Amino acid sequence: MSVGFRIDYLQLLSPSGELREAAEEAGWNADVLRSLYQAMTRTRVFDAKAVALQRTGQLGTFASALGQEAIGVGTAYAMHPDDLLVPSYRDHAAQLLRGVTMAEILLYWGGDERGSDFKNARRDFPNCVPVATQVAHAVGAAYAFRLRKEKRAVVCFIGDGGTGNGAFYEALNMAGVWKAPVVIVINNNGWAISTPRARECAAETLAQKAFGAGVEGRQIDGNDVLSVYKAAQQALEKAREGDGPTLIEAVSYRLGDHTTADDATRYRSPDEVKEAWTREPIGRLRAFLAGKRLWDKEKEDALQRRCAREVEEAVATYASTPPRGCEAMFDYLFHSLPASMKDQLEEARRFDPVRRNGHG
């Protein structure tokens, strides 16, 4: 594979919902388009409820995916069931498509270790909060697939700010050396907490960071779920065929706060956010579907009711799950508790808030 320095920008669906390349239209199945739309909407309804739960003291800190639903949905839709997802902390759009339940996601953000013990997506990794370390995990797992001659691929998500971390460069370098079957997706939402993209990195694109590692780099419109799906599908097929890794920079915008512990109104203008709403992913696909008579108000109302009902059922499951004592976090972390940790366990037992107050 030859690697050039030119970065093209892939956008198939414009912000106003018009298909960029007429030739592509014939290749899009109506059921696939509706499924992508429904998955993004499902994510947004869940996302809003999770934020509301945190604001009312029923959930711990939560990282919203508002406006970035297309990245997770488009990528996960292109994955095979036996591929492996290595998520960061903002990737519930992909996790929901992989079979992780809403109740499990709520348990995770409620501080319950069972939220990382997925009932369905048993092989996928749990959320990784330390910035960029998940890329090393993903490359290592992908290298194992290659050594075992398994035609499986790994998908890893990372934020734009995380690509400035040393762990990202080290992992990307080894992905290139090992021709690891991994697809690293950068969620470039424009902000590393309160630091804007322009002050994070002087490179013209983040996709160019792939070149130094001998890896293919692509930049796509991360608010266009069709572009995300297409790019992920091509990269995953390449990886499974043994042709090496791909770095995809999906350009999006974080419409909400970094997490519920953040207040983005302190560092960005309302006009900037208002303009970003004109490019968000769900409205543009809905406009396209409506224009093709594949979607209407009746379908939208039914979808909203279905999503709301599913979310409320998940909340009920989460709220009625009896909390575990503080021993759980030690049990999930260690097979045998090291002697040096025994004092910490005893101290945790004395101040165990979960036992007294329940989740959150």
Distance CA 151, CA 189 (A): 31
9-10 and 84-86: which strand pairing?
A: unpaired
DSSP per position, 219-231: EEETT-HHHHHHH
The strands making up 182-188's β-sheet, listed across from edge to edge, are: 9-10, 216-221, 246-251, 182-188, 154-159, 84-86
Q: What is the rounded distance in angstroms from the CA atom of residue 300 to the CA atom of residue 283? A: 12
How far, in Å, CA of 308 to CA of 256, rounded?
20
Active-site position among 98, 254, 284, 286: 254
Give me the catalytic one of 267, 305, 309, 349. Answer: 267
**Catalytic residue status for 258:** yes
**Residue of 92, 98, 258, 284 with catalytic role:** 258
12: tokens are 């198939």
Q: Which residues of 277-315 are buried (b: 16+ CB within 10 A; e: fewer)?
A: eebbbbebbbbbbeeeeebeeebeeebeeebeeebeebb
Task: Confirm whether 108 is a catalytic residue.
Answer: no
Query: Catalytic residue at 254?
Result: yes
User: Using CA atoms, how far apart are residues 70 and 230, in angstroms rounded to an integer?
Assistant: 12
- Token pair for 322: 């009896």
Annotated catalytic sites, by residue? 254, 258, 267
